[in-house]
Structure 1
Amino acid sequence: MATRSEPGHARPDPGLSAIMSERRQLINLAYRLLGSLADAEDVVQETYARWYAMPQQQQEAVETPGAWLTTVASRICLNLLGSARARRETYVGEWIPEPLPERTEWNSGRSDGSAVDPADRVTLDESVNMAFLVVLESMTPAERVAFILHDVFRYSFAEVGEIVGRTPAACRQLASSARHRVRATQAPATPTAHQTGIVRDFKRAWEAKDIHALIGLLDPHATATGDGGGLASAAPCPIEGGEQIARYLVGLAGRATNVTILERTVNGQPGLVALQDGITVAVYAFDFVGDRITRLWAVLNPEKLRPWHDGSHPGHDHVGGPTKIS
C-alpha cells in the first residue's frame, strides 16, 4: 500500500511551491477515493480554488497547509461519493473505474492540447489495481474515505475523524468494515510474472480465435464486464461463465478490422490495450486465481481513455470497432 507523505510544512507564509507540492498527494488520494482521474483532477482544482479564495491572513494562520488541503479534498470527495450512486443510476450500462497506464506509457498531452503535469500521474500500487477499486465501489462513502485515509495513506483515526466528522471509534469501525469487504474478495496473490504469462497466452488465443485455449485460461465461473458509458457499444450486463466469454471473444475477433492488441500495464498489473487505426479504443484489466482469469474488465468509454491517447489524438471520434469485449 502507499505510505503517507508529510502533509505539508508549517510556515507563517506558505509559498506557491509549498502549496503546489501537495498536488500529487491530492491527486493520488482523490483518484483512490473516486475511481476517476477526471473527477480527481476536478476535486484538486476545487481544493486549490478554496485555498486561494481565503484571505492571506487566514492562509498564514493554517499551521500545516498540506493537512488543510487534504481535509478539504477528502470532504469534497465524500460529498461526491454520496451523490455518485444517484448519478450512476443514469449511467448507461456498467460503471468501471477509470484505468490508468504505467507512468512511462502516460500520454504526452491532453485532448485539449495542454501538457500533462507529472504531478497529475497517479502512483501505481496494489491500492489502485482494478479488482481493489471495484471492491471500493461496494463500500459506503464513509467506509471508503475512512479506509483509504487510514489503511492506504496512514492517517490516524483521530485525523480521519476530523476529516469525516465522526469520532475516532466510529472511523475505526468504518475502516474495519471496509477491510472485511476487501478480505472477503481477495484470493491468494498470483505473482506478476505469472500474470504476465497468462495475459500473453490470452492475447495469443484471442488473436488466433482459439476457443479451447481461451476456455482453458478462463475460470469456469469467470465474469467479463464492459463499460461503454453510452458512447461505445458494450453489453448492459456482465457476461457470466468462461465458455460464454470465450465464445463472445472469438465472435468479436472474427469481426475485427484494423485492430491491434498490445500488452500493457493497467493500474499496475498486466493488461491489454486495443488500438483501432492507431487509436486506443479499449483497455482490458484482469483478476486471477492461480492459472485462471476470474474477472475481466473492458473499458471502452472514450472519456475514460484520455490518459491512453496521444495528445494529438483525443479519440472521441474514433469509437467502435469489433474489438470491444462486451
Structure 2
Amino acid sequence: MDEREFLAERFEEQRTKLRAVAYRMLGSVAEAEDAVQETWLRLSRTDTGDVDNLAAWLTTVVGRVCLTMLRSRTRRREEPLEFHLPDPLVSSADALDPEQEAILGDSVGIALLVVLETLDPAERLAFVLHDLFAVPFEEIARIVGRSEAATRQLASRARRRVRGAPAPDTGLASQREVIDAFVAAARGGDLERLMALLDPDVVVRTDGGPGRSSRVLRGPKEVAEGAMLFLRFAELARPAIVNGAAGAVGIVDGRPVSVAAFTVRGGRVAAMDILSDPARLATLDLTVLDS
C-alpha cells in the first residue's frame, strides 16, 4: 500500500465524523459534502509526516474550511432572509436512516441548528468544535485567529444562545402521539383542542425560499389559526422522522410541498420549523417515505 492509499484509507475512517462536523457548521448537506471533499484535497496535498494525530488534524481542517464557507455565505447574502431553515434530514416514520443516524450522532434537532444559524461564524465554529467535538480552545484559537481567552468567550456567547433553544421530549412514540393529535385537531377545526396542544411560547418558522414567504409566527392563537389554514390546503400530512425527531411531510397533488420538524416539550408542541422552498425540497431524498 503506497502513502496515498494509506491516507485515503485513514480519511475514509474519519469521513462520517467530518460530515457530522460540517453539517453542524453549515446546516447544508450539499455544502457539508463539499467541505469534506475540500478537506480530502488539502490532505492529499499535505506532507503529513509531522502530523501526530491525523483525526484531530482533519477535524480542525474541516472546521477551517467550513468557517471560510460561512464567511463567504454571509458576504453573498445581501438581504438576509427573515428565517433560513437548515437542510432537514428526513427518514421514514418507521426507522431512522443509518447514514443519517451516523451524521446526527447525539440528537441534532432542527431547533438546535436554527439557533446555530443565528450565530456569528466564529461563534458557531467555537461552539461546534469545542462543545460538540471536544476540540481544545488552543486549536480553535489558531483557526479563528484570536487569543485563547477570546475564543472561550466566543463559545460562551454561543452556549448562552443555544441554552435558549427548547429542549425536546425524548421518545419518538410520545412525540408522534402529540403530533397526530395536533394534526387531527387542526384538520377538524378544533381551535380549543389545538391551542391546548401548544406550548405558551410556541413558535413556527417557515422558510419559503428567496422571493417567497418566509415568516415567523408566535403564540398559541396565531400558530393554531395558521395550522388550520395550512392543513386544510394540504391533502396529506405524511408522518416522517426529521433530524431524529417526529415530523411530517405535507403532500399536495401527490408531491411534497413542505417538510415540518416538530419540537415537543412537556407533551406540547413548542416549535415547528417548516421548509417549503420548492427548489430545496427538490434536492431532498424523500423516496424513503415511499417504502
Q: Is 1:101 the counterpart of 2:80 in the alignment? A: no
Name the CA distance, whole Å, in 1 between partners of 2:41 and 2:266.
47
Q: Could you say if the C-alpha distance between residues 220 and 151 of structure 1 is closer, same or farther in structure 2, counting changes exceeding 3 Å?
A: closer
Q: Is 1:247 the counterpart of 2:225 in the alignment? A: yes
Name the CA distance, whole Å, in 2 between partners of 1:119 and 1:247.
33
Among candidates 150, 163, 186, match of residue 206 of structure 1:
186
Q: Is 1:271 the counterpart of 2:252 in the alignment? A: no
Deviations along 1:239-258, one digit per CA (max 9) or x if unpaired, are 233222222222233333xx
Q: Which amino acid aligns with 1:161?
A: A
Conserved 8 A contact 1:220-1:242: yes
Conserved 8 A contact 1:13-1:60: no
SS at match of 1:270: strand
Conserved 8 A contact 2:104-2:243: no
Name the CA distance, whole Å, in 1 between partners of 2:79 and 2:105.
30
Q: Which amino acid aligns with 1:309?
A: L
Task: Point out where structure 1 has 5 or more consecutive residues left out of the alignment.
Answer: 1-10, 107-116, 314-326
Name the CA distance, whole Å, in 1 between partners of 2:175 and 2:248.
12
Conserved 8 A contact 1:131-1:287: yes
Name the CA distance, whole Å, in 2 between partners of 1:153 and 1:30.
11
Alignment of 1:1-326 (within 5 A): 14-52=6-44, 54=45, 58-90=47-79, 94-102=83-91, 104=95, 106=97, 118=99, 122-126=103-107, 128-183=108-163, 185-187=164-166, 189-192=168-171, 193-230=173-210, 235-256=213-234, 259-305=235-281, 306-310=283-287
Name the CA distance, whole Å, in 2 between partners of 1:68 and 1:120.
24
Deviation of 1:51 after TM superposition, in Å, equals 2.5
Q: Which amino acid aligns with 1:78?
A: L
Deviation of 1:221 after TM superposition, in Å, equals 4.1
Deviation of 1:181 after TM superposition, in Å, equals 1.8
Deviation of 1:83 after TM superposition, in Å, equals 3.2
SS at match of 1:98: coil
Name the CA distance, whole Å, in 1 between partners of 2:175 and 2:83.
25
Structure richer in helix, relative to its length: 2
TM-score, length basis structure 1: 0.75
TM-score, length basis structure 2: 0.83
Q: Could you say if the C-alpha distance between residues 61 and 44 of structure 1 is closer, same or farther in structure 2, counting changes exceeding 3 Å?
A: same
SS at match of 1:264: strand
Name the CA distance, whole Å, in 2 between partners of 1:270 and 1:39.
25
Name the CA distance, whole Å, in 2 between partners of 1:89 and 1:201.
41
Q: Could you say if the C-alpha distance between residues 120 and 40 of structure 1 is closer, same or farther in structure 2, counting changes exceeding 3 Å?
A: farther
Conserved 8 A contact 2:200-2:219: yes
Q: Which amino acid aligns with 1:97?
A: P
- Once the two structures are overlaid, the 10-residue window that deviates more, 301-310 or 145-154, is 301-310
Q: Give the percent of matched residue pairs that are identical in Structure 1 and Structure 2.
A: 36
Deviation of 1:91 after TM superposition, in Å, equals 5.8
Conserved 8 A contact 1:12-1:61: no
Name the CA distance, whole Å, in 2 between partners of 1:89 and 1:214.
38
Equivalent residue, structure 2, for 1:318: none
CA-based RMSD of the aligned residues comes to 3.0
How many residue pairs align between the two structures?
283
Name the CA distance, whole Å, in 1 between partners of 2:165 and 2:101.
29
